[in-house]
Structures are given as structure tokens and as C-alpha cells.
A and B are shown apart, each in its own frame.
Chain A
Amino acid sequence: MSLKTWPLLLVILSLLLVANLMFGAVSISFEGILNGFQADSEHYFTVYEYRFPRTLLAMMVGAMMALAGALVQGVIRNPLASPDVLGVSHGAGLAAVTYMTLFPTSDIAWLPAMALLGGFSAAFILWWLCGNHSSAIKLAITGVALGALYASTVDFLMLVKPLEINNALLWLTGSLWGRGWNQFFILLPWLGLIPIALWLAKSLNLISLGDDSAISLGVNANTLRLTSLAVAVGLTASCVAICGPIGFLGLVAPHLTRKLVGGQHQILLPCTMLVGAILLLFADLVARTIDPPIELSAGIMTAIIGAPYFLWLLFKNK
């Protein structure tokens, strides 16, 4: 099955990539796109400086968030788990909103760093509360509770500081608007986490058989869990830092991919990155073209797709 799925996903991804370059507030022909990569073209700014980096970013963020979701689902052994469940996204969000509302005059360039700090702090608090040897379900429940706490703190901050609310709102829905080469190069080093995640694939297969079997097959279950979660937090926090919390991607993409190619992580992990990239490219394309020149945020689009999917999963698992 996976032999047929691979090329299909690649074709869809390529088509979406071209579509994202072509369509927007102004439509550009395919030829115009090709010329747009030359500096003397009339479309140079639109294609190369504006749409191309944004498209690349959407692919990277989609792939990384999906991969983070697959890692978390792998070690928590629950298809409803995702980095949102661990409270990482909301932790990153809280740190960023705190920064924006309390220091409205400060440099916006520090926002990614703050979000990253928040994401890792949220993960650290979770680990500090649950300890090294806690059960998957305890981790998930604590994560959800902490996430709710962070989210309500964000609401509180926005209520008491209504003047700065616009910036924060825009960022909180998760958007690729106005993101370009700058953000691309900030995110680029974080791609280094991908090989680490792939290196865990074989052990993730074994942990799906339960801790007892995994240990008996030579896996150090606790080290694997810690490594996977740390990599997932790194992936999530770096993405949230760039684009804000784009919801449901980390939940939907791995789950959808498992349906397509099965549960073997050597196939699942690469494919889930493709699916994540496809989903976010599609979401951003729709968000930009539904009512140009006004843009919705991609996070709203992923929520529109993701929330019903989450509910369906929830009811099905009952």
C-alpha cells in the first residue's frame, strides 16, 4: 500500500506548491512563476520574496508539526494525543502573549525566542509534575489541564490589556501572513531534529507493543519516551514560535497517515510529514484565496478541518 501512497502524496504536494505560488490576491501564470525566480521579472517580488518563502515555511511547519504529533502519539500510545495535549503549544502561546501585552513597545523579533522558551518551560513543568516514570495517561491528563491553565491565562491577559489584543489575536490563531525569508532561516536549523526522529522509528514500533515487550526486545522505554517527547517539544515550540499555534495539525496528520500507510514508523514518519505539509499548504492556499485580498489565518482553516475530525475520533473511540 505504501508503495502507491508515496508518489501520490509527492504529486499532491508538488501540485499544491505550484498552486500556492500561482494563486493569491493576484493570479500569476505558470510561466510567470518560472520567470518570477529571476531578479528582472515583474513578478520577482510576489513570487520569490513573498509567496515562495511563505510556501516553503508552510511545508516545513506542516511537516514538523505532523512529525511532532506522530512522535507524541507513538510514545503515549493514544491516537488522541498531540503536542496540544502536552500543553506545549499553549505554553509557547502564553509566553508570546505575555511578552506582547506586558512589553508592547519591545522588539517583535524576540517573539520566537519567547515562544520557544514558553514551549520548553511548559514541557519542563509537565515533566517536573509527572516525573520520569509516570504513566502515559497521567502525562496526557496533566498536559491537558496545564494547557487549559495557560489558555485561560492568555484570555485573562487579553482582557486586562485590551489595547494590545490585535497583535496577540492575529498571532494566536496561527498564521503564515507576512512570514518570509527571515522566519524561514530562523526555522531552518530546527530541521535537524527530523533525522533524530527518524532514528527513533524502530524503537517507536516496539514501544507500541507496550513497555514490557519493548524492554524485553532491548528498548530502554524511559529513555525513548524522554527523547521522543523532547524532540516533539523542540519541533512544536520552534513552529509555534514562527507561526503561532496552528491547531489540530499534530493530531490529524499522523492519524490520517496511519490510516493510509499503517503503523510502522519507518513509513509512518516520512509520510506523516508529507501529509502535514499538504494539509498546511492547502489550508494556507484556501485562507489566502477565499476572499482576496483579505486573508484568513491558516490556523482557522486547520481548525475547521481538524475540530470535526477530533470529535469524530473521540466518538469513534468511545
Chain B
Amino acid sequence: MSLSTQDLSVGYHGKAIVKEVSFELPKGKIIALLGPNGCGKSTLLKAMARILKPMTGQVFWNDQDLHQMPSRQLSKELALLPQTQPIPEGVKVKDLVAYGRSPYTGFWGRLNKEDNRIINDVMAQVGITELGEQLVSELSGGQRQRAWLAMTLAQDTPYLLLDEPTTYMDLSHQVELMQTLRKLNSSGKTIITVLHDINQAARYCDHLIVMKDGEIITQGEPENVLTQDMLKTVFSLNAQIHRDPIANTPMCVVE
């Protein structure tokens, strides 16, 4: 399995947001996409999730053009947690999570034993077991985000694409989510996530990809990527790099 792009340009209304990007996602890692607002990180993620079609270039899944592959087959390989989620009316949390099994069920969506086992597992994993009978519309922002994450996990894919998954969460749920991602990663999933918090990315992710103006500026391990120079050129920030006293990962402190 591999996910890569070749000279990929993608954008909206004929205007390229991501410009001729070529890269390969390191398999089996947690990868963070970083960059200032409007740099194209979400757009790049959407192109890899086949939401957006390339203007030029390609996205490859196992050396095949991703956008030419059957959608149902891909739905068993790649799962996406979008940045904003509409609230489906009159749908219980348990049913929402069950929708994640759609790639595997028949035309009427009937669930078998295995489906139900996976649904219960992922709900326990993100800690929403007791919310199962509640309506999605009644949840708080953080609970809703976790319910959607469970739905995405129920899709049971080797690759997981997340667009700012921590946005609506308080700090303790953010930490919980990042730890859940680590656990999922150690069970073999490749995870790529758009993040805003650079220190969070440096602490929990193996590989950082930094973008600016639609291009990848630098990528690699947090040790090598998180530098004073990078923060200056990409984020226009004067910052110092220190050691996280607990995880011993690099972290930035703004001057």
C-alpha cells in the first residue's frame, strides 16, 4: 500500500491552491500537514481523499491513478474525517457510527455480527459507548467530533485522513484524541492529519510536512523540521526551539 502524488495541482474554480506537489506518504507513520491558513493543506488532503479532482498531475494509490479507481473499493482503503460536519437529523450516535460500515454492507445496509462487533469496538475506543442511544444533534461539539471519528474508524481502513480533528475539542479531549491516534498507529494504521498546533504535531507525530503558498517547503522528522528558520520563513514568527520537558520532543516558544 502506498499513497503518493505526482506534479499534483488542485484548487477551486480554475485557480490552483496546491501547486505541482510531488511526494509520497511514509507508510505506517503519523503524518502532520502544517502551514499557515490558506497554504493548501486541507486542499491537498481533499485531493488525496478524492473529494477534489486534480487540475493537473495525479494522486496514486498503489501506483494506480486514484481518481480512476472504483469509489467503493477505495472506501475500504482510505477514510476521511472532514473539517466540518453537517448534523444529520434524527440519527442516533450508534447509527452514525454504523454508517461507517457502508462499504461492507449490502444495498439495504443490513449489519451482520462482525459489523456490530467493530461498531462497539470503535465506540469504546473513542469513549462514546454510553452516548450510543443519543441523537447526534444533541451532542456537544467535542462529543460530536468523537462520534464522527468513530464513524471514520468503523470504515476499518489502513489509511486515515483527518482534517483538523482537534478543532472543537477542549484540551483534555485533544490529548485523548492524539493518544488514540498513536494507539491506532501502533496497530498498523497510517494516519495523515491537518493540524494547527505545531507543538502538538511535534509531540505526537512521526513526520511533519510543512506547506506554504501551495508548495511543500520541507518535510521529515520533527527534530529536523521544527527549526527557527522554518518558523521564520513559513509562519513569519520569531520563535525559539526548546525541549519538551516530558516527551523530550522539540517545541517552539514564540518570542
A binds B: yes
A binding-site residues for B, Cβ under 8 Å: 77, 79, 199, 201-202, 205-206, 208-213, 215-220, 258-259, 261-264, 266
Q: Are A217 and B82 in contact (CB under 8 A)?
A: no
Q: Which residues of A contact B96 (CB under 8 A)?
A: 209
Query: Are A263 and B107 CB-contacts (below 8 A) given A202-B102, A213-B82?
Result: no
Q: Please, how many angstroms separate the alpha-carbon atoms of A57 and B41 in the complex?
A: 56
Q: Please, how many angstroms separate the alpha-carbon atoms of A199 and B50 in the complex?
A: 25
Q: Are B71 and A263 in contact (CB under 8 A)?
A: no
Q: Are B107 and A202 in contact (CB under 8 A)?
A: yes
**Contact residue among A206, A259, A263 (Cβ-Cβ distance under 8 Å from B102):** A206
Q: Which residues of A contact B49 (CB under 8 A)?
A: 212, 215-216
**Contact residue among B84, B89, B95 (Cβ-Cβ distance under 8 Å from A258):** B89
Which residue of chain A has the shortest Cβ distance to B96 in the bound complex? A209
Q: Which of B1-9, B73-81, B212-220 contacts A (4 or more CB under 8 A)?
A: B73-81
Q: Are B51 and A217 in contact (CB under 8 A)?
A: no
Instruction: Tell whether B103 is near chain A: CB-to-CB under 8 Å.
Output: yes
Query: Are A219 and B71 CB-contacts (below 8 A) given A213-B85, A263-B89?
Result: yes
- In this complex, which of B46, B71, B80, B85 has the most chain A Cβ atoms within 10 angstroms of its Cβ? B71
Q: Are B91 and A216 in contact (CB under 8 A)?
A: no
Query: Are A212 and B80 CB-contacts (below 8 A) given A202-B108, A218-B74?
Result: yes
Q: How far is the CB of A219 from chain B (nearest CB, A)?
A: 7
Q: Please, how many angstroms separate the alpha-carbon atoms of A262 and B92 in the complex?
A: 8
Q: Are B78 and A216 in contact (CB under 8 A)?
A: yes
**Contact residue among B74, B84, B91 (Cβ-Cβ distance under 8 Å from A208):** B91
Query: Are A209 and B88 CB-contacts (below 8 A) given A217-B155, A218-B74?
Result: yes
Give the A-B contact count at a CB cut-off of 8 A: 87
Q: Are B82 and A210 in contact (CB under 8 A)?
A: yes
* In the complex, per-residue mask of B107-138: 1 if CB is within 8 Å of any chain A CB, else 0: 11100000000000000000000000000000
Q: Are B90 and A262 in contact (CB under 8 A)?
A: yes
Q: Which residues of B contact A264 (CB under 8 A)?
A: 90-91, 95
Q: Please, how many angstroms separate the alpha-carbon atoms of A211 and B51 in the complex?
A: 8
Q: Which residues of A contact B240 (CB under 8 A)?
A: none
Q: Which residues of B contact A209 (CB under 8 A)?
A: 85-86, 88, 96, 99, 151
Q: Are B46 and A212 in contact (CB under 8 A)?
A: yes
Q: Are B109 and A266 in contact (CB under 8 A)?
A: yes
Which residue of chain A has the shortest Cβ distance to B82 in the bound complex? A212
Q: Are A218 and B75 in contact (CB under 8 A)?
A: yes
Instruction: Tell whether B243 is near chain A: CB-to-CB under 8 Å.
Output: no
Query: Are A213 and B80 CB-contacts (below 8 A) given A205-B99, A258-B89, A262-B92?
Result: yes
Instruction: Tell whether B72 is near chain A: CB-to-CB under 8 Å.
Output: yes
Q: Which residues of A contact B86 (CB under 8 A)?
A: 77, 208-210
- Return 17 A-B CB contacts under 8 Å, by A number: A199-B107, A202-B102, A202-B105, A205-B109, A208-B89, A209-B85, A211-B51, A212-B46, A212-B51, A213-B82, A213-B85, A218-B102, A219-B102, A263-B89, A263-B90, A266-B108, A266-B109
Query: Are A217 and B100 CB-contacts (below 8 A) given A199-B107, A201-B109?
Result: yes
Which residue of chain B has the shortest Cβ distance to A258 in the bound complex? B90
Which residue of chain A has the shortest Cβ distance to B102 in the bound complex? A217
Q: Please, how many angstroms separate the alpha-carbon atoms of A78 and B236 in the complex?
A: 42
Q: Are A220 and B108 in contact (CB under 8 A)?
A: no
Query: Are A220 and B51 CB-contacts (below 8 A) given A209-B99, A212-B46?
Result: no
Q: Which residues of B contact A201 (CB under 8 A)?
A: 108-109
Q: Please, how many angstroms separate the alpha-carbon atoms of A156 and B252 in the complex?
A: 70
Q: Are A263 and B100 in contact (CB under 8 A)?
A: no
Q: Which residues of B contact A266 (CB under 8 A)?
A: 108-109
- In this complex, which of A208, A212, A261 has the most chain B Cβ atoms within 10 angstroms of its Cβ? A212
Which residue of chain B has the shortest Cβ distance to A213 in the bound complex? B82
Q: Are A217 and B88 in contact (CB under 8 A)?
A: no
